Amino acid sequence: MHRPLEVTHPQRIRQVRGGKRRLPTYTPLVHPPTNQQATIAVVFLQPQCNMTCSFCITENEVDRIEFEEAVELLDHLQDIGIRNVILGGGEPFSWPGDPIALAREAKARDMIVQVGTNGLDLPEGFAKLDCVDRWILPLESVESEVHDAMRHAKEGHHRTVLERLEELQQESKSVTVSTVLTAVNVVGLAELSRYLEAYHSVAENVHAWHLYQFLPAGRGGARNGKELWIPPGMFHEVCDSIQQAKLPFQVFRRTDMYETQSIAFFWSENGHIRRGGRVLDGAMDPKV
């Protein structure tokens, strides 16, 4: 018998006035289930990661999901009719469990399996794995200096991502690319768009490009909000220009990666598997 899943928002950003700034802080918020049926489940296997990205929105308060719990969750997803699962984190390949074994469990349940990863610790031959239908990789800029300034690893991360993309291209394996728009990389988005269009022309394996608005929240974003924040108007203007270019793959703008009715989020907290999302309340301009 499956464990009943609690439907909550783990955190809520509320407005705090202090001088001329509004800074994000967090309070628990119970959130009722939406009337719209979710079609995709994102499973946060753990908050831990082997990188320290400047904009990271992940919180440290959530717990790791044990492998047995994750398999039980897959059964629950199957019961409620969700057939598309994204394994993420944190970093799934830093998870003490086995993400490839979990992907196989999902495929055995006839699910579409996607894995969101920074690409650092992928197993050899990852692009040939039949148990993963699509990989989700980050790319913040065509310029290594810009990308690596946002995504901090012991060695340059930009080169690793390009190598992973090349491996996927050689196998014609589906990939979704994610980009977080900040003051550091927003001016180079058109160039990144041209790079992805050229990349896609070889094997036509780019499924989608997700453009995320930076949020001054989480273990990285809250600390670096003043340096990375861009006005919402600028975010939408840049996204408009990209979407008007009619790229040969889908382009999505994401003003809040946790606020969507078609995606259900699952994580472990205080010994329970929880389902929910996150809502933003109040202005995001740290300069107001």
Is 226 within a domain?
A: yes
Token pair belonging to 21: 């700034």
The whole-number pLDDT of residue 36 equals: 59
The list of the chain residues with pLDDT below 50 reads 1-35, 277-288
Which is nearest to 112 in space by CA: 136, 134, 80?
A: 134
Asked if 67 and 102 count as a contact pair (C-beta separation under 8 A), the reply is yes
Token pair belonging to 284: 């995001």
Which is nearest to 136 in space by CA: 98, 188, 173?
A: 173
Give the DSSP H or E segment for 242.
Answer: helix 232-244
Q: Which residues contact 138 (CB under 8 A, 6 or more apart)?
A: 118, 119, 151, 161, 177, 178, 179, 180
The whole-number pLDDT of residue 60 equals: 81
CA distance 94 to 129: 18
Is 1 within a domain?
A: no
Scan for tokens 């908050």, then name that residue: 47
Q: How many CB atoms lie within 10 A of CB 124?
A: 7
Domain ranges, residue 151: 6-280
The whole-number pLDDT of residue 277 equals: 47
- The CATH number of the domain where 157 resides is what? 3.20.20.70
Is 266 within a domain?
A: yes
Buried/exposed 190-229: b ≥16 CB within 10 Å, e otherwise: eebbebbeebbeeeebbbbbbbbbbbbbbbbbbebbeebb
The whole-number pLDDT of residue 163 equals: 98
Is 287 within a domain?
A: no
Q: How many domains does the chain have?
A: 1
Q: Which residues contact 132 (CB under 8 A, 6 or more apart)?
A: 100, 103, 113, 114, 115, 126
Is 137 within a domain?
A: yes
Count CA atoms closer than 13 A to 99's CA, side-chain side. 28
CA distance 15 to 138: 30
CA distance 53 to 33: 31
Tens digits of per-residue pLDDT, 66-123? 999 999 999 999 999 999 999 999 999 999 999 999 999 999 999 999 999 999 999 9
The whole-number pLDDT of residue 280 equals: 22
Tens digits of per-residue pLDDT, 41-67? 999 999 999 999 999 998 888 899 999
The whole-number pLDDT of residue 287 equals: 35
The whole-number pLDDT of residue 259 equals: 60
Count CA atoms closer than 13 A to 81's CA, side-chain side. 5
φ/ψ (deg, to 5) at 253: -100, 135
φ/ψ (deg, to 5) at 257: -65, -15
Is 286 within a domain?
A: no
Token pair belonging to 247: 């790229």
pTM: 0.84
Is 126 within a domain?
A: yes
Is 139 within a domain?
A: yes
CA distance 276 to 12: 12
